[in-house]
Copies of this chain bind each other. A is one copy, B any other.
Amino acid sequence: MDMPVSQPRRIVPVILAGGSGTRLWPISRTARPKQFLALLGEHSLFQQTLLRLKDDPRYGAPIVITNEDYRFLVAEQAHEIGIVPASIVLEPVARNTAPAIVAASLMAAQDGSDPLIHVLPSDHGIVVDKAYAQALDTAEAVAREGRLATFGIDPTEPATEFGYIEAGESLPSGGRRVARFVEKPDAEKAATMIAAGSHYWNSGMFLFTASAFLAECEKLAPEIFAAASAAVDKGRADLDFYRLEAASFAQAPSISVDYAIFENTDLAAVVPAAIQWTDLGSWNAVWKSGARDAADNLGVGKVTLNAASRSLVMSESHHVVLDGLDDVAVLASEDAVYVGRLSAAQSVGEVVKRLKADPQTRHFTEIHRTSYRPWGGYTSVLNGARFQVKRLFVKSGCRLSLQKHLHRSEHWVVVRGTAEVQVGESVRLLHENESIYIPRGEIHRLSNPGKIELEVVEVQTGDYLGEDDIIRIEDEFGRS
């Protein structure tokens, strides 16, 4: 049986997953930013985004656009929840949202079709309810008219941390024309807009047909269109990823899609909606989204609250006690603690700038003590002058690269599961409570042939212990 010709094609979601925000420091860091963290609940925000789409039959498989550094995080987190993206597109350099969305739209239309595209950030929280479904229906109708739809969130307070969209005349499809975009306002201006009505929070989500968006882009931002087109044409598939070609993509100016297209096109429309939406853009926003106790506290992890109120306490390692304070944010990662006023927690960004500027503290903004790799990962547990101790965890069936080090020797003790270890030409199995020594300069490889996770305590000794002392001879993840 042929498919009926009138069957609408499914919407292609384009998920923006390349951001590396700093406002949720110290839990969020450059190496594993907000969208990949399970801040609230079992799944990361990126996974929650994928699951929201999966459960809605109007969507096809998503295109995820991210950067080189996050490719394994994206692939694993999608895999973990059984989702196979249509494509994971890698930006060779960061160029803000406009070039990324143009490239992803070109890829969505590569088969000659003209799909509807829903662009959405990977780190927002949305409650899927009737208002949300209705907004999507309206946005779809608006987009089918050839317009570029934005989602305008009904403001619940005169927030100063969002841009606003002023809505103009109504459209037959149910949306409204965009009268103007307003930058993040001060408190007074925000209050005036709320009082005036017809002003909505700019959610950063868009819905349009590929043809309408790309035509506007070609007209209004031809250099972005040219750069993105060339980057897609000359790009190449690499394992699970699609790599945009670097030289071409680098030609694109670094600019947001709002500035480059939406503020200049006559086709912009806003779909006002009372969506329960949060950008989780500050610890205060996280606190508002969580399940708070009777004293309005949100405690996550090993936490004791004593006569505290309206506070957020989250700990990944230490046992944290908050005692007799109100409106305080305490965030404890494996190596750093932030204590500040919860209602002013957007100032975390300022602190991160200070820490980044100091070579002694920069690493606290960049990496966690636990690092994730395609095969599993490791936690740095002890650092001495000429030694360090790591806990390695290797997923069932995975193996690390065949590698050697010029400056360090390694002692491995298997503490859980079974390891297959190659040292030089010899290969042997190690079980729990067995150990092996890898002399400096010797090639070696660690694999987990077992059915359960392998855990190894690694003691490194040497005169230089940086992660960059690694020569990969062979690698399953394309890193050699």
Contact = CB atoms under 8 A, between A and B. Distances in A.
Interface of A: 26, 304, 306-307, 315, 318-325, 328, 330, 332, 335-341, 344, 347-348, 350-351, 354-355, 361, 364, 379, 381-382, 384-387, 389, 391, 409, 411, 413, 415-416, 432-433, 435, 437, 455, 457, 459, 461
B318 A339 contact: no
Given A321-B336, A321-B339, A323-B341, 19 more contacts: A304-B354, A319-B335, A320-B337, A321-B338, A322-B339, A323-B348, A324-B347, A325-B340, A328-B339, A332-B337, A337-B337, A381-B381, A384-B416, A386-B415, A387-B415, A387-B457, A389-B389, A411-B435, A435-B459
A339 B335 contact: no
Given A306-B351, A319-B364, A433-B409, A384 B455 contact: yes
A437 B364 CA distance: 36
A325 B304 contact: no
Given A350-B306, A457-B387, A459-B457, A337 B319 contact: yes
Among A335, A437, A459, max chain B CB count under 10 A is at: A459
A283 to B, nearest CB: 11
Nearest to A387: B415
Contacts of A411: 411, 413, 435
B355 A304 contact: yes
A324 B379 CA distance: 32
Nearest to A332: B337
Contacts of A437: 435
Contact of A323 (B315, B340, B459): B340
A340 B319 contact: no
Nearest to A330: B339
B320 A347 contact: no
Contact of A336 (B319, B340, B382): B319
Contact of A340 (B324, B340, B389): B324
